[in-house]
Amino acid sequence: MRHYEVMVILDPDVEERAVSPLIENFLNVVRTGGGNVEKVDTWGRRRLSYEINKKSEGIYSVIDLKAEPAVVKELDRQLNLSEQVLRTKVLRPDTH
Amino acid sequence: MAKPPVRKPKKKVCVFCKDKITYVDYKDTNLLRKFISDRGKIRARRVTGNCTQHQRDVATAVKNSREVALLPYTSTAR
């Protein structure tokens, strides 16, 4: 099991109260895969430094989790398939 | 010919070594903004005064930060 930090930028058109159920839905992959979600930190709406898919804003969320590499890979794949996700970034903080 | 004025090099101490910070966080944009120019370029070590290792950590953090649109690749100022 490794410690990962996943940053997700959601579409600004997603409603504020729809954000956490949406993320929880994605995190089910981790839970069923034997991983452990430690922290979900939603920053809320924020201006992007440059436009992504013609959007100038995004809803930022940072997720701390412990899981097997394959599980995180699958999570990243599913996030990228979703229309509501602008961008994702998976990082292992302990390698830096 | 006038002699060029002798400038005493002021030795700068790396801010990260001074504060004993080991991990430069890519989410901390306020901190990272001190290490980029107004055009968005990463400042050189001779400007920032960072040590080799920390300059490298800062550069990586800035690049990670750019990927998630927290910092600009370029600013269109001017």
Model pLDDT, residue B63: 93
CATH architecture for residues B27-77: Irregular (4.10)
* Backbone phi and psi for residue A20, each to the nearest 5 degrees, phi listed first: -70, -35
Whole-model pTM? 0.82
Q: Would you call B24 an interface residue with chain A, using a CB distance cutoff of 8 Å? A: yes
A52 vs B contacts (CB less than 8 Å): 69
**Residue boundaries of the structural domains of chain B:** 27-77
Confidence of residue A77 (pLDDT cuts 50, 70, 90): very high
Q: How far is CA A83 from its chain centroid?
A: 13
Adjacent-strand bridge partners of B36: B42
Chain B CB within 8 Å of residue A55 CB: no
CA-based nearest residue in chain A for residue B60: A96
Residue A8, pLDDT score: 92
Tokens describing residue A57: 């804003």
Which among A10, A45, A49 is the top mutation candidate for probing chain B, defined by the most B β-carbons within 10 Å of its own β-carbon?
A: A49
Check CB contact under 8 Å for A50 and B72: yes
In order of A53, B7, B9, the CA distances from B2 in angstroms are 59, 15, 20
